[in-house]
A and B are shown apart, each in its own frame.
Chain A
Amino acid sequence: MSKYKVNLKINNIAVSVDEGTTILDAARQLNFKIPTLCHHDDLCVAGNCRVCVVEQKGARLLPAACATPVSEGMEIQTNSLKVRQARKHIVELLLSEHNADCTKCFKSGYCELQDMSNDYRIGDHVFLDLVKEKDKQPDISSPSIEKDDSKCIRCQRCVRTCTSLQYVSALAVTHKGNNMRISTFMDKPMNDVVCTNCGQCINRCPTAALTERNYIDEVFDAIYDPKKFVVVQTAPATRVAIGEEFGMEPGTRVTGKMVAALRRLGFDKVLDTDFTADLTIMEEGTELLTRLKEALVDGKEVALPMLTSCSPGWIKFQEHMFPDLLANLSTCKSPQQMFGPLAKTYYAEKVNKNPAEMVVVSIMPCTAKKFEAERPEMRGSGYKDVDYVLTTRELGRMIHQAGIDFEKLEDEKYDTILGESTGAAVIFGATGGVMEAALRTAYEIVTGREVPFANLNIKPIRGMEGVKEASVKIKDVKPEWSFLEGVELNVAIAHGLANAKILMDKIRAGEANHHFIEIMACPSGCIGGGGQPMPTNMEIRKKRAAGIYEEDEAMVIRKSHENPEVAEIYKSFLHEPLGHRSHDLLHTHYYPRKRH
C-alpha cells in the first residue's frame, strides 16, 4: 500500500514524509534529535512526559513530538525559546519529584534524566523538593528487581513493557494526581505479585527506579576470601553484549576478552554455561524423544507439546498464568542450574575441592536467574547450587571497578572440565537457538544424518518474528526409531511473554499441533535479556543476534552431542540422559502459583 506523502518544515527545512509519521520521526530524518523520556522504540506511544514538546506555527499549544502525527504544511520549531523554556521547566519539575542522589546512584552515568539535566544545565533547583520520605525506602523484597519509587518519573515505560511486551501486568499505574505512582496489585511487595523477574522494565527505565538487585560486593568478598574456591560460569548471550559496557558496538564478539577479564578479577576458575547448554540438549532432546515414544508407541497420555524450560522468567509466568499446563514443561533445569550442582559434585571431585567451600557465580543476561538461584528446590548438590547471579551489566561494573582495560585484553580460553562447548550451545542466546540446537542433535540421533539445512543453519526458525513455526519431516530413520518414520515434527518458537501467551492460549484451547515449543521470556531471547547492557532496541538486539550466529559458525564443534566433555561426563558420572543422577541433579519440578 503506497502511503501519502506529507510536506512540512522542521526548523525551516522542508521535508516530505509518509502520512502518519510522528513529528519526532520526521525530525530524525533531518537529523534533529528531539529529547524524549517516555518514548521508547519498543513501546507504544504515551506522550506523557512532555519533554519532546515542539512549537507549531499557528498553534496555541506545544504538541508532543512523539505523539503527534505530521500534517500538511506544518511548520515546526524544535528548539525555539518557547520550547526551551517549557522543556527546561519540565525537566526541573521531573527533578523536583526525583530523588537526585546521583553520586550514590547505581544508574549514574546511564541515567537519561541525568543526561537531560546536564544538557539543559539545570543547576540550582528553582522548585521545591517534592520527594516523599516514605518513597525513599526501596522495595528490595525481590531477589531480582529493586524498585525505588523516589527515583520514578512516572514515564510508564515499565508499565507498557510489563503489560504490552510481557503480558504480565505486575506493574500498573495506581492513584491519581500527586499520589499517582507505579505500583503493584494492592501495593504488595514485588516478590509477592505476578512479576516474572524478567527485568525488561529495568532495561527500559530511564532512571534508577527499577534496577537489578546487585551482588557485586558479595562476589568480591568471596573472591578475596582465601578459604573460598570461586568458580564462574558465563551465559551464551553475555559474550556478544558485555563489550557494550566498554563502548563497543552491540554484537561485538568478546568471549576471549571476557574470559581474560574474569580471570583478572580473581575468579579461581572460569567455566562456561555453554557446557551445560549442550548438556541441556542431551537431556531435553532425550526427554522429547521419550515423550514422543510414549505417545506414539506405548499409547500413553503424555503432555505434548513439550515446552522448553531454560528461561526462568517464562517458568514463573507459566506457573502463574498456565498452571494447568505445567506437565508440558520440560523437567530440565536451565543451563545455569544444571551447572551449579555439577560444579559442586562432579567438578569438585575432579579438582579435589570441598563443595562446602565452593562459591558458584554466574554471569547472566538475565535478572530472573537471580530469582531462580534462590528457589528452594535448586539445592541438588546438597548446597545452594548457584550462590550469586550477576547480570552482564554488573560484570561490566566489576571490570570498571577493578580498573581492567577490557578492550586491550588478549583473548584467553575457558578452563577445562566444565568449559568446553559447541556452536549449538552459544545459539541458546538468541530466540530459536535452543530449538535449532535440539533439532541438530535429535535429528541426527534419530536418522544418523545431519539436519537437512545448509551448513547446519536452520534459517526458518531464526529472526525476530514474535511467533515462529516450522515443520521438519523425519524420514529414513534408524531401526530403533522406526516409530518416527514419516513423522512431521512440528515446532514453534515464541519470545517475549505476550507472544508466549498467544501460543499458550492455542495449546490450552487444543488448537496447537506442535510437538516441541521453545519459549524465551525476553524479546529476541537472552540477547535481549533484562540483565543486558542498556539501552535496548530492535536494532541493537539484531546486532547481538548476528554476533551469536557468527560465534556459532566460528566454533569447531557445532552439535551438542559431539561435545567431548559432555561425552566424558556421561561416561564417568551421569551414565545416561534421564538417568538416576540426571534426575537428581539436572531435573526439577514446578509449582502452580496464584495470580493475586
Chain B
Amino acid sequence: MEKNIKKVDLIFGKVDYMAIVEQSLKRTRDEIILDVIDSGLRGRGGAGFPTGLKWKFAKNEEADQKYVICNADEGEPGTFKDREILTQVPEKVLAGMALCGYCIGASEGYIYLRGEYNFLLPSLHKHIDEFHKKLKALKFDFTIRICSGSGAYVCGEETALMESMEGKRGEPRNKPPFPTSHGYLGKPTSVNNVETLVFALMIAQEGPEKFKEMGTFDSRGSKVFSVSGDTPTPGIFELELGMTLEQFVEEFGDGDTKAVQVGGASGFCVARKDFKSTLIGFEGIPTGGSMMLFNSSRSMYNILNDYLEFMEEESCGQCTPCRVGCQQLLKGIEAVKKGIKPPSYLEDLQKLSDTMRIASKCGLGQSVPNPFNSIIKNFREEIIY
C-alpha cells in the first residue's frame, strides 16, 4: 500500500540546523514570515491557526519584551509524536524557536514540557546549553528555558498554559485579547506546537514551494501521525496530508477496523461507511496527530465513556457549559445504558452538546461534542443497548 500514502522525512531527517539559523538571520524577518505564510503551514497541535499569520501579528506588536513558547504539553489521548520529536531531533525544535524569536523580535523562549515527559529534561538541557553556545557564536541573543507542566490536559490550551507558567491555576483566559498581543506576563507571545516549529525551520531552509507541493489546498505539507489502537503497525509516521481515511486504514488497519478516532478524545469518530468520503485534513477532519483504530471487538459505549470520563476530570471547571456539561453527558449515557433515562434522552444530550460547542470558554468544552455527537450518530445502538 506504500504507493497510496507518501511518507515524508521533513521532521525527523537530520539537517544542519545551525546553517539554517545562520542563513535565516541574514534575511529580513518579513521575508521569512512571508515564506511561512506562503507555505500554508497551519498549527500542528490540532487547532490549525496559520503559523505565518500568528508570527506576523506578534511581530507587529510593539513591546519591550516578547516571548516564544514551544507547546510541548502533548496531552491529547493517543498523541505521542512531540515526545518523539523532542527525543530524536530536539536541536531542530530549538532552532525553530530561535527562528520564531528572530521573526517576532523575542529574545526569550520557553518549552512548556508535559509533566510526564520530565525524563527528557537532562537531554533537553544539554541540547539547550550547546545551542546557546552556538547562538552566541552567531551573536544572536536568544535564551531558551524549560517550564514543566503538572499534568493538566487543559494546560495545552495556550492561554491556560501561560497562566500555568505564571504560577497560577491553569485556566484558559478570556479572548480577546489574544496571546500575540497579551500573552505570557502580558507580553506579545507566539505559542507554537513542537512540530510546527520544526516545519517552520524546514520551510526556512527549503522555501515554501516544496512544502506547498504536498497536501491539499487547505492542508498543505505533511504531518506526523501517532497511530495506535487495533493496528499491526502502531507508531509514528510522517505522511503527506490529503489522504482519505480509507487509504489510511488500508495502510494501518488490521482488516477489521470498524471506526477510527481522528484527533484524540477531542476529535471525531469516523465509522467504516464514511472512510472513503473522509479526508484527513482541514477540509475533512483535522487532527493534532492522534489516530486511534478500533476493530469490531471494541465497545463504542466504553470508548465514549472513557473519553467523557477524561473530559469530566480534565475540564478546568471554571465555565458552566464545560464543567457541568461534561458531567451531564457522562452521567447521561450511563443513565440511558441502565434504562434510567429513555433513548430519546440522547437527543436532549446532543442539544446540550451543541450549547457546549458554542458557549464554552475554550477549545476543551467546545470540542467535547466532537466525539460525543459522532459516536452517538454512528453507534447509537451500542450506546443504548
Contact = CB atoms under 8 A, between A and B. Distances in A.
Contacts of B313: 176-179
B312 A50 contact: no
B176 A68 contact: yes
Given A130-B324, A154-B323, A173 B359 contact: no
B327 A130 contact: yes
Contacts of B318: 46, 48, 154, 156, 173, 180
B324 A94 contact: yes
Interface residues of A, number: 38
A176 B319 CA distance: 11
Nearest to A51: B320
Contacts of A69: 176
B interface, over-half SS: helix
Interface stretch (B202-210, B283-291, B348-356): B348-356
Contacts of B331: 128, 130
A90 interface: yes
A128 B335 CA distance: 9
Contacts of A223: none
Contacts of B327: 97, 130, 178
A121 interface: no
Interface stretch (A56-64, A203-211, A231-239, A446-454): A56-64
B9 to A, nearest CB: 36
B245 to A, nearest CB: 24
Interface stretch (A81-89, A336-344, A355-363): A81-89
Contact of B358 (A48, A86, A153, A177): A86
A120 interface: no
A411 B327 CA distance: 56
B328 A61 contact: no
A171 to B, nearest CB: 13
A89 B319 contact: no
A61 B366 contact: yes
A68 B174 contact: yes
Interface string A94-106: 1011000000000
B53 to A, nearest CB: 18
A90 B359 contact: yes
A127 B315 contact: no
A16 B210 CA distance: 49
Interface string B259-279: 000000000000000000000
Contacts of A596: none
Contacts of B174: 45, 47, 64, 67-68
Contact of A93 (B324, B335, B341): B324
B321 A89 contact: yes
B326 interface: yes
Contacts of B152: 176
Interface in A26-61: 45-51, 53, 60-61
Contact of B361 (A64, A89, A130, A156): A64
A93 B325 contact: yes
Interface residues of B, number: 35
Q: Count chain B CB atoms within 10 A of each CB in A68, A85, A156 and give the residue with the most.
A: A85
B75 interface: no
A49 B320 contact: yes
A551 B331 CA distance: 58
B319 A86 contact: no
A402 interface: no
A175 interface: yes
Given A86-B358, A130-B328, A175 B319 contact: no
B360 interface: yes
Most chain B C-beta atoms within 10 Å of own C-beta, residue among A48, A68, A130: A48
B127 to A, nearest CB: 32
B232 interface: no
A127 B316 contact: no
Contacts of A68: 174, 176
Given A50-B319, A173-B317, A178 B326 contact: yes
Contact of A178 (B169, B323, B335, B359): B323
Contacts of A126: 348
A96 B328 CA distance: 9
Given A47-B361, A64-B361, A96 B324 contact: yes
Contacts of B41: none
Interface in B59-108: none
B238 interface: no
Given A68-B174, A126-B348, A93 B315 contact: no
Nearest to B314: A177
B144 interface: no
A107 B136 CA distance: 65
B111 interface: no
A175 B313 CA distance: 9
Nearest to B349: A127
Contact of B315 (A47, A62, A128, A178): A178
Contact of A176 (B154, B324, B332, B341): B154
Given A61-B366, A128-B331, A176 B358 contact: no
A413 to B, nearest CB: 51
Given A48-B361, A50-B360, A64-B174, A86 B355 contact: yes
A48 B326 CA distance: 15
| Most interface-central of B176, B323, B348 (chain A CB within 10 A) | B323
Contacts of B319: 47-50
Nearest to B360: A50
A176 B176 contact: no
Interface in A415-457: none
A94 B176 contact: no
A177 B317 contact: yes
Contact of B323 (A46, A61, A62, A177): A177
A85 B357 CA distance: 13
A83 to B, nearest CB: 9
Nearest to A172: B169
B348 A90 contact: no
A62 B358 contact: yes
Contacts of A179: 313, 317
A589 B10 CA distance: 74
Contacts of B341: 128
A522 B319 CA distance: 29
B312 A177 contact: yes
A89 B351 CA distance: 9
A79 to B, nearest CB: 15
A89 B323 contact: no
A69 B311 CA distance: 29
B163 to A, nearest CB: 12
Nearest to A128: B331
A126 B331 CA distance: 13
A200 B129 CA distance: 51
A97 B358 contact: no
Nearest to A47: B174
B324 A82 contact: no
Given A89-B351, A89-B352, A177-B315, 16 more contacts: A47-B319, A50-B321, A53-B358, A53-B359, A61-B366, A64-B174, A85-B355, A86-B359, A89-B359, A94-B320, A154-B320, A176-B316, A177-B311, A177-B312, A177-B314, A180-B318
Interface of B: 152, 154, 169, 174, 176, 311-321, 323-328, 331-332, 335, 341, 348, 351-352, 355, 358-361, 366
23 contacts: A51-B320, A53-B359, A60-B358, A61-B359, A61-B366, A68-B174, A89-B352, A89-B355, A93-B320, A93-B324, A93-B325, A97-B327, A127-B328, A128-B332, A130-B324, A154-B323, A173-B169, A176-B317, A177-B311, A178-B312, A180-B317, A180-B318, A180-B323
**Nearest 4 pairs of A and B residues by beta carbon:** A180-B317, A93-B324, A67-B174, A89-B355
